[in-house]
A and B are shown apart, each in its own frame.
Chain A
Amino acid sequence: MVVSSLKLQDLIEEIRGAKTQAQEREVIQKECAHIRASFRDGDPLHRHRQLAKLLYVHMLGYPAHFGQMECLKLIASPRFTDKRVGYLGAMLLLDERQDAHLLITNSIKNDLSQGIQAVQGLALCTLSTVGSAEMCRDLATEVEKLLLQPGSYVRKKAVLTAVHMIRKVPELSNIFLPPCAQLLHERHHGILLGTITLITELCERSPAALKHFRKVVPQLVQILQTLVTTGYSVEHSISGVSDPFLQVQILRLLRILGRNHEESSEIMNDLLAQVATNTDTSRNAGNAVLFETVLTIMDIRSAAGLRVLAVNILGRFLLNNDKNIRYVALTSLLRMVQSDHSAVQRHRPTVVECLREPDASLSRRALELSLALVNSSNVRAMTQELQSFLESCLPDLRADCASGILLAAERFAPTKRWHIDTILRVLTTAGTHVRDDAVANLTQLIGGAQELHAYSVRRLYSALAEDISQQPLVQVAAWCIGEYGDLLLEGGCEETEPLQVEEEKVLALLEKVLQSHMSLPATRGYALTALMKLSTRLRGDNNRIRQVVSIYGSCLDVELQQRAVEYNTLFRKYDHMRAAILEKMPLVERGGTQDEEAKESKEAQLSEAALVPTEPQASKLLDLLDLLDGTFGATQPPPALEPSPGGTLVHLLDLPCASPAPASIPNLRVFEREGLQLNLSFVRPPGTPALLLITVTAVNTSGADVTHFVCQAAVPKSFHLQLQAPSGDTVPAQGGLPVTQLLRILNPNKAPLRLKLRLTYNHFGQSVQEIFEVNNLPVEMWQ
Chain B
Amino acid sequence: MIKAILIFNNHGKPRLSKFYQPYSEDTQQQIIRETFHLVSKRDENVCNFLEGGLLIGGSDNKLIYRHYATLYFVFCVDSSESELGILDLIQVFVETLDKCFENVCELDLIFHVDKVHNILAEMVMGGMVLETNMNEIVTQIDAQNKLEKSEPPVMEVHLQKSTLLERKRFLHL
Seen from chain A, the residues whose Cβ lies within 8 Å of a Cβ on chain B are 2, 4-10, 12-13, 16, 45-46, 49, 52, 55-56, 58-61, 63, 79-81, 84-85, 88, 91, 95-97, 118, 121, 124-125, 128-130, 153, 156-157, 160-161, 163-164, 189-190, 193-194, 197, 235-236, 238, 243-245, 248, 252, 284-285, 287-288, 291-292, 323-324, 326-328, 331, 358-362, 364
Contact = CB atoms under 8 A, between A and B. Distances in A.
B130 A190 contact: yes
B156 A287 contact: no
A580 to B, nearest CB: 53
Contact of A81 (B20, B87, B151): B151
Contacts, number: 164
Nearest to B20: A129
Interface in B103-132: 110-111, 113-114, 117-118, 121, 125-132
B48 A324 contact: yes
A13 B128 CA distance: 34
Nearest to B47: A323
B118 A361 contact: no
Contacts of B125: 124-125, 128-129, 157, 160-161
Contact of A129 (B43, B126, B148, B156): B126
Contacts of A285: 84, 88
Contact of B25 (A63, A96, A197, A243): A63
A129 B22 CA distance: 9
A49 B25 CA distance: 22
Task: Give the 6 A-B CB pairs with smallest separation, nearest first.
Answer: A128-B126, A288-B84, A323-B47, A359-B46, A95-B22, A4-B157
B130 A160 contact: yes
B22 A193 contact: no
A291 B83 CA distance: 10
B17 A59 contact: yes
B14 interface: yes
B92 interface: yes
Contacts of B18: 91
Contacts of B51: 361, 364
Secondary structure type dominating chain A contacts: helix
A135 B144 CA distance: 26
Chain B, interface size category, equals 35 or more
Contacts of B45: 323
Nearest to A152: B136
Nearest to B144: A118
B147 A238 contact: no
A87 B50 CA distance: 32
A97 B28 CA distance: 15
Contacts of A157: 125, 130
B46 to A, nearest CB: 4
Given A9-B111, A153-B140, A359 B47 contact: yes
B89 interface: yes
Given A13-B165, A193-B130, A324-B49, 10 more contacts: A4-B156, A52-B114, A59-B14, A84-B148, A88-B118, A128-B125, A160-B128, A235-B135, A288-B87, A324-B84
Q: Most chain-A CB neighbours within 10 Å: which of B125, B151, B157?
A: B125
15 contacts: A45-B155, A58-B25, A59-B16, A59-B113, A79-B151, A157-B130, A160-B128, A160-B130, A163-B128, A164-B128, A243-B132, A245-B132, A288-B84, A324-B84, A362-B47
Nearest to A165: B126
A328 B151 contact: no
Interface in B40-98: 43, 45-51, 82-85, 87-89, 91-92
Interface in B140-160: 140, 143-144, 147-148, 151, 154-157, 159
B87 A284 contact: yes
Nearest to A64: B25
A194 B130 CA distance: 7
A712 to B, nearest CB: 59
Contacts of B140: 118, 121, 153
A361 B83 CA distance: 13
Contacts of B84: 284-285, 287-288, 291, 324, 328
B85 A12 contact: no
Contact of A362 (B46, B87, B151): B46
A361 B47 contact: yes
A403 to B, nearest CB: 15
B29 interface: yes
Contact of A291 (B82, B88, B114): B82
Q: Which of A7, A79, A238 has the most CB of B within 10 A?
A: A238
Contacts of B25: 58, 61, 63
Contacts of A194: 128, 130
Contacts of B111: 8-9, 12
A84 B118 contact: yes
A84 B144 CA distance: 9
Nearest to B157: A4
Contacts of B143: 118
A770 B73 CA distance: 89
Nearest to B82: A248
Contacts of A291: 82, 84
Nearest to B22: A95
A424 B45 CA distance: 37
Contacts of A359: 43, 46-47
Given A361-B46, A361-B51, A284 B113 contact: no
Nearest to A82: B151
Nearest to B24: A97
A236 B50 CA distance: 29
A118 B143 CA distance: 8
A288 B22 contact: no
A51 to B, nearest CB: 10
A337 to B, nearest CB: 16
A153 B142 CA distance: 14
Contact of B88 (A16, A85, A244, A362): A244
Given A56-B113, A153-B140, A245-B89, A288 B126 contact: no
Interface-central residue, A161, A236, A292, A361, by most chain B CB under 10 Å: A361
Contacts of B114: 8, 52, 55, 84-85, 88
